[in-house]
């Protein structure tokens, strides 16, 4: 089972087990990760599951599709590595993925 690390703005870490085939957002919500609001429930219709992919992982993820890229623009302080966790599907290759949580979600 892949393990994901969420890093909060204060530097604290939360490591969770994720189910292959589910989204990173679903893993965060199932484990009560603070900072992933996911108001649309994973429909790629808001930006409240926004995170920053650690620089060591950016090139290892599939690129964002147009609908995700458009929504990231509305996230709080988007930057290189900004992704919506609802659009990242868990695979065995994501074992060890590191995600930084923004200070706040809109």
Domain count, the chain: 1
Residue 105 belongs to a domain: no
Arithmetic mean of pLDDT, 11-40: 96
In the prediction, which pLDDT does 104 show?
A: 86
Residue 58 belongs to a domain: yes
SS (H, E, C) the chain: CCEEEEECCCCCEEEEECCCCCEHHHHHHHCCCCCCCCCCCCCCCCCCCEEEECCCCHHHCCCCCHHHHHHHCCCCCCCCCEEEHHHCECCHHHCCCEEECCCCCC
In the prediction, which pLDDT does 106 show?
A: 54
Residue range(s) defining the domain that contains residue 20: 3-100
Contact 31, 91 (CB under 8 A): no
Arithmetic mean of pLDDT, 32-54: 94
pLDDT tens per residue across span 44-99? 999 999 999 999 999 999 999 999 999 999 898 999 999 999 999 999 999 999 99
Residue 106 belongs to a domain: no
CATH of the domain at 67: 3.10.20.30
């Amino acid at each position: 089972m892949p393990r994901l690390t969420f890093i909060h703005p204060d530097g604290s870490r939360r490591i969770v087990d994720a189910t292959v085939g589910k989204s990173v957002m679903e893993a965060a919500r199932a484990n009560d990760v603070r900072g992933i609001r996911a108001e649309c429930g994973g429909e790629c219709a808001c930006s409240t599951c926004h995170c920053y992919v650690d620089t060591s992982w950016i090139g290892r993820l599939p690129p964002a599709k147009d609908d995700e890229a458009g929504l990231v623009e509305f996230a709080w302080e988007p930057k290189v590595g900004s992704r919506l966790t609802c659009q990242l599907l868990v695979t065995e290759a994501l074992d060890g993925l590191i995600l930084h949580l923004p200070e706040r979600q809109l």
